[in-house]
């Protein structure tokens, strides 16, 4: 998570959406950079609302704008699958070395997910809160130009990003049957993704 106090902007770091590269590039311009532990680095909206927002609004003022990135749901899960196939994960309970991508997605759609498929939810991460706290600008992962322009305009800086924490490249096959099941069981993920427009505009899901 990055805080830009003068711009009154917070960048939330949704896992597997490339925001670590933005932390590196924009860290010198930020008033606060949360890198560890992962639970705070990747603080979702509900955690930001509970732990960070009260203090930030007290000392900075009016509610801050919140910007975040979302990845196409199948692609996002593919990144997790590839990330958990790195060589040193072999033998761990979270490793995907012994399952196909199709099996990984099938396991992800279960209510009781096995450890290797328990990777969270983008929709849950970005879920608005009952008090109105919500992401104000949501960009698609494949709209890096739009995100970069927004941040450069808002912060008044220019910057470049590298590739960090990238999952190994590999071809992933997903059966039509499993994808249909994923879209049915995880409909909120696709509804949120499909509601993202240009310049960070989007249709948020209702608060729980």
Any domain includes 41: yes
Is residue 109 exposed (0-12), middle (13-18) or buried (19+ Cβ within 10 Å)? middle
Range of the domain at 79: 2-200
Any domain includes 206: no
Token pair belonging to 5: 């106090």
Is the overall model pTM greater than 0.75, yes or no?
yes
Question: In sequence order, what are the beta bridge partners of 66?
Answer: 10
For residues 101 and 113, give the distance between their C-alpha atoms in angstroms, rounded to a whole number: 15
For residues 49 and 43, give the distance between their C-alpha atoms in angstroms, rounded to a whole number: 9
For residues 14 and 20, give the distance between their C-alpha atoms in angstroms, rounded to a whole number: 9
pLDDT at 173 over 80: yes
Any domain includes 208: no
Any domain includes 31: yes
pLDDT at 119 over 80: yes
Mean pLDDT of 128-149: 96
Mean pLDDT of 172-198: 97
Mean pLDDT of 105-109: 98
Question: In sequence order, what are the beta bridge partners of 32?
Answer: 3
- Report residue 49's pLDDT band, with 50, 70 and 90 as the boundaries: very high
Domain count, the chain: 1
């Amino acid at each position: 998570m990055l805080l830009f106090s003068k711009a009154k902007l917070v960048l939330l770091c949704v896992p597997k959406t490339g925001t670590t590269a933005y932390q590196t590039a924009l860290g010198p311009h930020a008033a606060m950079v949360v890198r560890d532990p992962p639970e705070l680095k990747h603080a979702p909206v509900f955690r930001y609302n509970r732990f960070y927002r009260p203090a930030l609004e007290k000392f900075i003022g009016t509610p801050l704008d919140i910007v975040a990135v979302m990845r196409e749901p199948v692609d996002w899960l593919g990144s997790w699958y590839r990330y958990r196939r790195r060589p040193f994960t072999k033998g761990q309970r979270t490793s995907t070395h012994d399952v196909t991508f199709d099996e990984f997605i099938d396991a992800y759609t279960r209510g009781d997910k096995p450890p290797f498929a328990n990777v969270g939810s983008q929709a849950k991460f970005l879920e608005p809160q009952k008090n109105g706290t919500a992401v104000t600008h949501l960009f698609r992962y494949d709209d890096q130009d739009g995100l970069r322009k927004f941040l450069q305009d808002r912060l008044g800086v220019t910057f470049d990003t590298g590739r960090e924490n990238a999952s190994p490249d590999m071809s992933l096959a997903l059966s039509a049957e499993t994808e249909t099941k994923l879209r049915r069981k995880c409909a909120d993920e696709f509804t949120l993704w499909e509601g993202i427009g240009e310049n960070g505009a989007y249709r948020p899901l209702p608060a729980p």
